[in-house]
Amino acid sequence: MDCRATKKHRYDLVVIGSGSASFAAALRASELDKQVAMIERATLGGTCVNIGCVPSKTLIRAAESKFRAEHSPFRGIDLHAAGLDFATLIREKDRLVDSLRQAKYQDVLQSHDNIEFIAGEATFISPFEVRVGDRVLAGKYFLIATGATARIPAVPGLSDTRFLTSTTLFEQERLPSSLAIIGGRFIALELAQMMQRLGSRVTVLQRSECILPAEDADLTDALTGYLADEGITILTGVQLQQVSGNGTVCIDFKRRGKQQRVEAEQLLVAAGRRADTSGLGLEQIGVELNKDSSVKTDEHCRTTVSHIYAAGDVSGNPAFVYTAAYEGKLAVDNAFGESRTKDFTILPYVVFTDPQVARVGLNEQMAREQGLDVDVVKLALENVPRALAARDTRGFIKLLRKKGEDRLLGASILAPEGSELLMEVALVMRYRIPVHEVAGMLHPYLTLGEGIKLAAQAFDKDVKKLSCCAA
């Protein structure tokens, strides 16, 4: 350690970024009575509140409201075409984002006297100092939490063509008549269904042979069918060759040996995200990056420079707002004396399509690849009374346990509001509750949660032969 640099310390912790990892870290350091600087070069709050989770989920719900008004499974209800003022939807989204940023970020910062917010771009000029404009900030510890940015694939002509990302899509005030989407994972599918329901004609172009390639084939096949039923064209196994046009966008590609073209009014690139380390000067101070440009960290969130930590999307770990916050707090605890390690063994996550994809732990594909001998139950929602009453039996609940044992290894759920089932399974796994106890627990009748009980029972009995409200 450079003793001369130590004398310059002005802050105990300098946080670069202002998203969920940054706030979790800063608030934890504040609790420990540390002096904190938080530096942000763009908008306070990071991805989630500004351009990610919040705007996408409110617009997804708006699109669902329109869809429900036009499509009902109940006879006796008059259906009608729901009018759409897209510009108003965007303005209402902006109001929600502004209010949450004020309440959950700006007001929170102002309530902590030992956290100083600094607007500007941070660049390391030494391992213990960053420059922000005309200021030099010295710190004992640093946290890099600069998030991620849209990954733009190297397709000829793409850089010369006007296209949207998930960020700029939410800034549009006019709904395109047609939309082509490059990508077939979380973000692409959520936005594809949202835009189709709002009135665009959507085509999804996915490089792999299925959407959501990390999930089991039965789940991706079923979801593909449900999305296609709503009019979304899903093309998998696509080899992109050329993008052209600034009026109508033309995408040329090969698929299964045939040359094809898709034309659309607008193009959305949703092919994943990549860590954003631009402008930080990490190479000058010895902070190493992984091949995908993410910051290399150990199990304590420490980089290759011992007093510099990284958390959230920039570190290449699971790209969720809650994992980022978890890492931010863990990094601070470790910097100031603890020795905690990251643990993503039981990581629940959701894809906000309709029906939703919700998973925790292993899926069947992963278990087989690991050579595990597993028992699998797959409960179709037509066996769940709540789904029958709602007249929406799309999807299933799939549970895995190791053969000969009574512990869950994972769950894959495809269901309307399936996310609301996920934490019961996660807690069962976290606290190693035997499957037979889940099967015997009281679950309220006519709740979707009853499906977890029925799926647990299905390991040992045919639930199709049970009375609808039998224990």
pLDDT at 3: 42
Q: Per-residue pLDDT averaged across 56-79, rounded?
A: 94
pLDDT over threshold 60, residue 383: yes
Going by pLDDT thresholds of 50, 70 and 90, the confidence category of residue 2 is: very low
Residue 463 is given by DSSP the state G
Average pLDDT of the residues in 361-367: 97
Assigned CATH topology for domain 11-150+274-336: FAD/NAD(P)-binding domain (3.50.50)
431: pLDDT strictly greater than 80? yes
CA distance linking residue 15 with residue 112, whole number of Å: 15
Gap between the Cα atoms of 284 and 380, Å rounded: 56
**In the prediction, which pLDDT does 471 show?**
62
Percent of the chain with pLDDT over 90: 93
Under a CB-based contact definition with an 8 Å cutoff, are residues 35 and 9 in contact? Answer: no
Structure tokens given for 133: 């404009």
Q: CB atoms < 10 A from the CB of 118, how many?
A: 19
Is the pLDDT score of 32 beyond 80? Answer: yes
Rounded to an integer, what distance in angstroms lies between the CA atom of residue 186 and that of residue 157? 25
| CA atoms of 266 and 272, how far apart (whole Å) | 18
Q: State mean pLDDT over 201-217.
A: 98
If residue 421 lies in a helix (H) or strand (E), which one and from where to where? helix 419-430
pLDDT at 321: 96
**What is the Cα–Cα distance from 413 to 357, expressed in whole angstroms?**
6
Q: Is residue 176 pLDDT above 90, yes or no?
A: yes
> Residue 69: is its pLDDT beyond 90?
yes
Which residues in 187-226 are b (16+ Cβ under 10 Å) and which e? bbbbbbbbbbbbbbbbbbbbbeebbbeebbebbbebbbeb
Domain 348-461 listed as CATH 3.40.109.10: no
Which one-letter DSSP state was computed for residue 294?
P
Give the per-residue pLDDT at 104. Answer: 97
Look at 50 and 468; give whichever has higher pLDDT.
50
pLDDT of residue 470: 61
Q: Which CATH class is domain 153-270?
A: alpha beta
Determine which of 72-76, 122-126, 220-224 has the lowest per-residue pLDDT on average: 72-76
Residue 4 has pLDDT above 50, yes or no: no
State the amino acid at position 133 in one-letter form: G
Average pLDDT over residues 411-432: 98
Report, as an integer, the average pLDDT of 8-25.
Answer: 92
Domain boundaries, the chain: 11-150+274-336, 153-270, 348-461
- Name the CA dihedral angle for 353, 358, 362, 363, rounded to a multiple of 10 degrees: -50
Task: State the pLDDT confidence band at 466, using cuts at 50, 70 and 90.
Answer: confident
Tokens of 306: 């011992």
Compute the average pLDDT of residues 63-87.
91
Same fold, 11-150+274-336 and 153-270: yes
Residue 223 binned pLDDT confidence (cut-offs 50, 70, 90): very high
Q: Are 98 and 106 contacting, i.e. CB atoms less than 8 angstroms apart?
A: no
E strand or H helix that includes residue 50: helix 46-51
Strand (E) or helix (H) holding 141: strand 135-144
Instruction: Give the E-state strand segments of 270-405 in sequence order.
Output: 273-275, 308-310, 349-351, 356-361, 374-380, 396-402
- What is the per-residue pLDDT for 465? 83
Confidence (pLDDT) at 469: 66
Arithmetic mean of pLDDT, 178-192: 98
Q: How much is the mean pLDDT over the chain?
A: 95
Q: How far apart are CA 90 and CA 79, in angstroms?
A: 25
